[in-house]
A = this chain, B = another copy of it.
């Protein structure tokens, strides 16, 4: 494509209709697109989100939710809905043949490593998760999913890419007629032919409204419009139209493993049917059991019809009966049948990563558009949502005038690296899971069950999503090369003067580049316990967490007061980066956790900058916390668990997505200033 005003599109004869402008256009309303829209809703960004499908999905599809995904949901206020409706994954049982070849349970391991997160991995179908996003969008914004709307032509004016207020993107959208947009769901899954009655019985009550709206839209006929946008995000799946327009490749390969999937209410004498199981039979393939909500169980079943040697197998011939037969072979001597099937499919594993995640940091790709892999580790939907969770606070910060465009390059650096790691993990895991178990140590073509168990346990840490460790960059002040720690993109802080390195030694369990862990602390004003992550809502604000230490010691209180004075000074970075007339916590919020004792210090002993006053609401009672025992929910021991010195404390800068940017002492105000000055815009 040419550098200036290139048309990246298939030709169309229709004339575009009305033209309008929007800050961000999101293409695709699956989990990645909905996560993007949710960020924009919370940050007050003018965004539109379109999807060619006529409705959201109602069953089947992705189902695993990682610990980290639940933490993110909670930062938007709806993890509780997922937690309540989902099935919780507690234990994994490994089944494989004993020395006589008889299937038996060889191991039990916890599904989520205890202590890793306040959430554990759960399972809930994608349709419900989309519902939570839709309700959240409705509650917090005017952004609504525009369904039956398909992009048809993309024009990108590359010359304007670095002009801040330009609209370098132009997209022609086609509004589909009712016939055109339905029924995508049953077409897209191989032979999914669940009857209408079953389909309807799976609807939750709060989905009804949407179906009614859809019915109301009937009779609408095709029409076109043109949208001019500052930014665009392609969340349009593995066959991404956006990616194709940009000419970017999805690099990798198809494997020769074919798997069947059944979502059923099982009738069986297999004792662990309500437990996540990895079952290796001696010679009849493998099964993964994923117990789900509403009495359902998902079974991933290896199909023995696979042709050897990488030849493409025709999976369109596979039926539920064939999958069930394969399952019974693997499970023998146990038996499995069902009366109720909610959904089923068959798939072949492909492992691919996108060559580029953005075009000039104006058009971005996310989710399946830039990575595909096997579904069995329950990663896909999570990594997709975390792509746009990483991206869209950055776009919002830029659009809201908080940050320079330079931060946008960190999206590819951070997320393409994650996608590469994911594919490597999936490759290893799929091979171990799809292989025949070794008969003994001499059986070299078989898979060692000990190796499988170890990989499974390590994989669980990876799969939790909390192990994500973003590399050094202008927004993560850690040592080393940004190119090496990311996907190769250069995202260094360019100014030597502004480049700072966080002091990791001040908080052994608050890791630069990783998400802030959560322990319980009490609100100083009312003694209520909060998991500290609950206070770190996703609203686009940067945060400085002041571990104030032991304020009953005069020397420490003096350090804290001195920090307060520096922050409150009219020339402080806090004032410089906050627009005049806006609340002092509107760009950077300061939170305090002191180490107590809670009852020996009064709220009004804290300097005012740490509990800002407003004319209408008086003092702010939600900024100061204490590490102390609660009456009803135990003792979080936050200082101990964060690895922070309870006497002297430290200061932590957190990104709007709760990842740790910097660590330092209470005196390091100049370093904080340098860090923020590296990408923030002076407003005052």
Q: Which one of B291, B339, B632 lies within 8 Å of A615 (CB-CB)?
A: B339
Tell me which of A361-369, A523-531, A544-552 binds B.
Answer: A523-531
In the complex, are the beta carbons of A291 and B526 less than 8 A apart? yes
- CB-defined contacts of A112 to chain B, threshold 8 Å: 631-632
- CB-defined contacts of A87 to chain B, threshold 8 Å: 526
In the complex, are the beta carbons of A91 and B275 less than 8 A apart? no
Bound together, the chains give a CA A495 to CA B144 distance in angstroms of 65
- CB-defined contacts of A291 to chain B, threshold 8 Å: 526
In the complex, are the beta carbons of B525 and A275 less than 8 A apart? yes
A211 contacts partner chain B, Cβ-Cβ < 8 Å = no
A640 contacts partner chain B, Cβ-Cβ < 8 Å = no
Q: Which one of B91, B205, B269, B604 lies within 8 Å of A269 (CB-CB)?
A: B604
* Interface size range of chain A in the complex: 35 or more
- CB-defined contacts of A529 to chain B, threshold 8 Å: 90
Q: How far is the CB of A328 from chain B (nearest CB, A)?
A: 15
- CB-defined contacts of A632 to chain B, threshold 8 Å: 90, 110, 112, 114, 120
Q: How far is the CB of A408 from chain B (nearest CB, A)?
A: 33
Tell me which of A260-268, A350-358, A381-389 binds B.
Answer: A260-268
Bound together, the chains give a CA A631 to CA B88 distance in angstroms of 12
| CB nearest neighbor in B for A269 | B604
Tell me which of A148-156, A399-407, A616-624, A641-649 binds B.
Answer: A616-624
In the complex, are the beta carbons of A91 and B527 less than 8 A apart? yes
> How many copies of this chain are found per oligomer?
2
Bound together, the chains give a CA A602 to CA B104 distance in angstroms of 13
A274 contacts partner chain B, Cβ-Cβ < 8 Å = yes
A494 contacts partner chain B, Cβ-Cβ < 8 Å = no
Which residues from 508 to 554 on chain A have a C-beta closer than 8 Å to any C-beta of chain B?
A: 523, 525-529
A108 contacts partner chain B, Cβ-Cβ < 8 Å = yes
Given contacts A112-B632, A275-B527, contact A139 B267 (CB under 8 A): no
Bound together, the chains give a CA A340 to CA B616 distance in angstroms of 7
Residue of A90, A120, A621 with highest tally of chain B CB at under 10 A: A90
Which residues from 582 to 604 on chain A have a C-beta closer than 8 Å to any C-beta of chain B?
A: 599, 602-604
In the complex, are the beta carbons of A274 and B604 less than 8 A apart? no
Bound together, the chains give a CA A66 to CA B621 distance in angstroms of 25
Given contacts A139-B205, A205-B138, A339-B616, contact A527 B271 (CB under 8 A): no
Bound together, the chains give a CA A271 to CA B523 distance in angstroms of 13
Bound together, the chains give a CA A97 to CA B124 distance in angstroms of 57
A239 contacts partner chain B, Cβ-Cβ < 8 Å = no
Q: How far is the CB of A638 from chain B (nearest CB, A)?
A: 17
A184 contacts partner chain B, Cβ-Cβ < 8 Å = no
- CB-defined contacts of A603 to chain B, threshold 8 Å: 271
Q: How far is the CB of A108 from chain B (nearest CB, A)?
A: 7
Which residues from 185 to 229 on chain A have a C-beta closer than 8 Å to any C-beta of chain B?
A: 205
Which residues from 259 to 293 on chain A have a C-beta closer than 8 Å to any C-beta of chain B?
A: 265-269, 271, 273-275, 291
A295 contacts partner chain B, Cβ-Cβ < 8 Å = yes
A244 contacts partner chain B, Cβ-Cβ < 8 Å = no
In the complex, are the beta carbons of A621 and B339 less than 8 A apart? no
Q: Which one of B90, B268, B527 lies within 8 Å of A527 (CB-CB)?
A: B90
Given contacts A339-B615, A526-B274, contact A108 B602 (CB under 8 A): no
Bound together, the chains give a CA A630 to CA B114 distance in angstroms of 10
Q: Which one of B90, B268, B528 lies within 8 Å of A526 (CB-CB)?
A: B90
Bound together, the chains give a CA A247 to CA B529 distance in angstroms of 50
Bound together, the chains give a CA A614 to CA B603 distance in angstroms of 60
Q: How far is the CB of A457 from chain B (nearest CB, A)?
A: 14
Q: A90-B632, A291-B526, A339-B617 are in contact. List 15 more A-B contacts (CB 8 A).
A: A90-B529, A90-B630, A110-B631, A112-B631, A120-B631, A139-B205, A265-B616, A268-B618, A271-B604, A273-B525, A275-B525, A275-B527, A295-B617, A339-B616, A340-B617
Residues of A within 8 A of B (CB): 80, 84, 87-88, 90-91, 108, 110, 112, 114, 120, 138-139, 205, 265-269, 271, 273-275, 291, 295, 339-340, 523, 525-529, 599, 602-604, 615-619, 621, 630-632
Q: List 29 A-B contacts (CB under 8 A).
A: A80-B80, A80-B84, A87-B526, A90-B526, A90-B527, A90-B528, A90-B630, A90-B631, A91-B631, A110-B632, A114-B631, A120-B631, A138-B205, A139-B205, A265-B617, A265-B618, A266-B618, A267-B617, A268-B618, A271-B602, A271-B603, A271-B604, A273-B525, A273-B621, A274-B523, A274-B525, A275-B527, A295-B621, A339-B617
